[in-house]
Amino acid sequence: MKVLVTGANGQLGRDVALLLKKEGHSVIASDREQMDITSQEECNVAISSYLPEVVIHCAAYTAVDAAETNIDGAYKVNAVGTRNVAVATEKIGAKLIYISTDYVFDGNSVIPYQEYDEMNPQSVYGKSKRAGELLVQSLSSRWFIVRTSWVYGLYGNNFVKTMLKLGQEKPKLQVVNDQKGSPTYTSDLAGFLLELMVTEMYGVYHASNSGTCTWYEFTQAIFEEAQTLGGLPIQAKLEPCTTEQFPRTAPRPRNSVMDHMSIRTNGFTDLRPWREGLRDFVRASSRRK
């Protein structure tokens, strides 16, 4: 298939583009230089010139804390930019996959969030991503919305890379132990997107690696796998802390766990357990050094 990937220099976009090429698809890996999504004209020209059958929209403003003060910037990319991509994609009759986030929920539920639960974002980032979802649904006729959480991959900066660095440099690390979610390896998420894009099973999907943990438990696993598989000299003593002990500008969801009801009911293969994805990430990271 002919596929255009936005945000192709980001950690998810790069993995998606690489996997598409590996699987024999024709790919345009588009980033800001090739197509500024905040320009309707640039989106129209680029997408109508290439005529993709699918657009996978990975580009996003993801600086969660910065968004609290740069409100216009977050909405310009996540809402206006998504509208522009949706309009241009609809004009040529292509499918659109929009990558969204657990932050569209308030994080206060005691059970996992299902795809059609009410959205109630608490941060500017979450609100801007919800705006993107609403625009996709109102402007597109062939759409998939894929919400994910706690994403990390080989490319770009992320929580796993930060913890590996700090674990080798700091004598002590405090990590929040009262926020839970599902870490998601970009390679596994990319695989699901490729499976999804060839279907007509439109709608909202939750896609994260299976299983749950807190940030503290995730860091414990990162250190264990790094020492066992990567041979990294982790020296930091790990200590759990509360959200209140580690204040951030933007509120974080206490519960980011999402139920994968749409994956089950549509007969897709669920993503593997998060610990397996983490092991493969550590192995792949070790090979790249």
Annotation marks residue 103 as catalytic: no
Indicate the SS3 state at residue 151.
Answer: strand
Number of Cβ atoms within 10 Å of the Cβ of 45: 13
Query: How many whole angstroms separate alpha carbon 219 and alpha carbon 202?
Result: 35
CA distances from 85 to 12, 47, 56 (A): 18, 8, 10
3-state secondary structure 55-80: EEECCCCCCCCHHHCCHHHHHHHHHH
CB 121 within 8 A of CB 181: no
Amino acid found at 182: S
Residue indicated by tokens 């929009």: 98
For residue 263, the number of C-alpha atoms closer than 13 Å in the C-beta half-sphere is 21
Which is catalytic among the residues 61, 98, 103, 125? 125
Smallest CA-to-CA distance from 267 within 217, 214, 200 is with 200
Q: And the tokens for 266?
A: 């549509």
CB 11 within 8 A of CB 151: yes
Q: Which residues are catalytic?
A: 125
